[in-house]
Structure 1
Amino acid sequence: MRRILYTIGFSLVLGSSFSCKASSKEDPLVALLSSPPVVSSVTPQIGSPAQNNLNAIYPATEVIIKGENFGVDPVVRFNDVVAAITANLGTELHTRVPDGAYSGFITVSKSGGSCLPNSKQGANCSGTEYFIDCYAITNKQYGSEIEIKQGQSLSVEFGAIETKAFHTDTLLGARNLIIGCQSVVTVRVFSRSCQATDYVLQNDPIIPFPAGVATQFYITANSATCSLVL
């Protein structure tokens, strides 16, 4: 009887030992390091790089990325532009919209990982859409943006030295904005990464707009009716 009990006990101990050895192969730390990061939210999801224009300076939008498994040395990108990480709190990454950023994707990749160009896909990569808005950072000081679409014409009334904000739709091809006005106008045009080009005190300017993006711009006129043709 004692031999039977001894055999049973030995078998239980031996089985337990094999079980421990089997489970040790699945190291949770190794699994964590090899699994991809997860981006659950980005706040805000609309922002701007730093703007230093002729009459205003705006800092880059601060962005908080929440998620998990970011690792100890993650890389944040706005499309292909790397952004500096100001704080890594484990489940939160703090950063700012970098110079040259444009609408597309914000991504996090772990050390040794990579994201495909202009994509949220890749090895050890996660991300979501992000939108660059050059006007929102001003708290829309000139009122709501007026949209002008490709092939459209608008007639716009301006009061005494008044500025209005506009944006195009996404242009299928390069176009010229043709402005006809009863007064000289000043036009500020933003690139997709919010760099401003000013056309100061122009008579009926013709301004080139690039293909594939929605362009934001301001027009300042003095007590005039202006026609816009795109």
Structure 2
Amino acid sequence: MRRILYTIGFSLVLGSSFSCTSSSSEDPLAALLTSPPVVSSVTPQIGTPAQNNTNAMYSATEVLIKGENFGVDTVVRFNEIVAAITLNLGTELYTKVPDGAYSGFITVSKSGGSCLPNTKTGVNCAGMEYFIDCYAATNKQYGSEIELKQGSSLSVEFDGQETKAFHTDTLLSSRNLTIGCESAVTVRVFDRSCKATDYVLQNDPIIPFPAGVATQFYITADSKTCSLVL
């Protein structure tokens, strides 16, 4: 009887030992593979894709993403645009704003994961808001941007041949910008990914602006007072 009890006890202890060893070796690996990434900071949170517009060339903004559990098969997206990762340190990702990026979200997903379109949520996905600013790359060379709200008008005075920077609010519907000036003006309008369209030496131009976007633009004029209506 003693020999039987001893055998049963030894078997229980031995089985428990194997169970503990197996659990401790598998849990960290399982957590690494199944836990979602965590994004704690994005620096800077405002940037621009590469700008190769006439008379204005700026490099894409370099971005540092900090967090944890990024994995090795990591994908960084600006909304749906995939960005190249220049360095992955596990808790830090280095990338650049890709061509075609626009304001919305920057996301990190790992192997087996995916992010829902234009959000920061999904499976094995994390992210933060990110803002595209076409004017910031110039170090505000034309001074502070002037805001023009939809349905409103502005009267702006130009001193000599001067360039001023403007932006609209986010338009609820497509609208036309109407510029009235005693002299011809040159207007540069940026799309949401910082590609520019130039209207050179136009008299009282009427320029279409798209819905759902806060459009940035420049106006260059002589010593005149110009009216802007949106």
Q: Which interval holds the TM-score relative to the shorter structure? A: over 0.9
Indicate the larger mover: 210-219 or 9-18: 9-18
Check if 1:126 corresponds to 2:94: no
Which string of whole-angstrom CA distances, capped at 9 and with x for unpartnered residues, describes residues 32-61 of structure 1? 111111111000000000001111210000
**Alpha-carbon distance, 1:27 to partner:** 2.8
**Alpha-carbon distance, 1:227 to partner:** 0.2
Number of the residue aligned with 2:195: 195
Q: Separation in 2 of the partners of 1:10 and 1:73?
A: 45
Q: Separation in 2 of the partners of 1:12 and 1:119?
A: 51
Q: Separation in 2 of the partners of 1:176 and 1:98?
A: 29
Change beyond 3 A, Cα 1:111–1:15? closer
Q: Which amino acid aligns with 1:117?
A: P
**Alpha-carbon distance, 1:220 to partner:** 0.2
Number of the residue aligned with 2:171: 171
**Alpha-carbon distance, 1:145 to partner:** 0.2
Q: Separation in 2 of the partners of 1:90 and 1:15?
A: 36
Number of the residue aligned with 1:150: 150
Number of the residue aligned with 2:76: 76
SS across alignment from 1:27: helix
SS across alignment from 1:28: helix
Q: Separation in 2 of the partners of 1:25 and 1:118?
A: 38
Q: Separation in 2 of the partners of 1:137 and 1:213?
A: 19
Q: TM-score, normalised by structure 2?
A: 0.93
Runs (4+) of structure 1 exceeding 6 A deviation are 6-9
**Alpha-carbon distance, 1:80 to partner:** 0.2
Q: TM-score, normalised by structure 1?
A: 0.93
**Alpha-carbon distance, 1:21 to partner:** 5.1
**Alpha-carbon distance, 1:28 to partner:** 0.9
**Alpha-carbon distance, 1:13 to partner:** 3.6
Number of the residue aligned with 1:92: 92
Count of residue correspondences = 229
Q: Separation in 1 of the partners of 2:53 and 2:95?
A: 23
Q: Quote the sequence identity (%).
A: 84
Q: Separation in 2 of the partners of 1:195 and 1:138?
A: 14
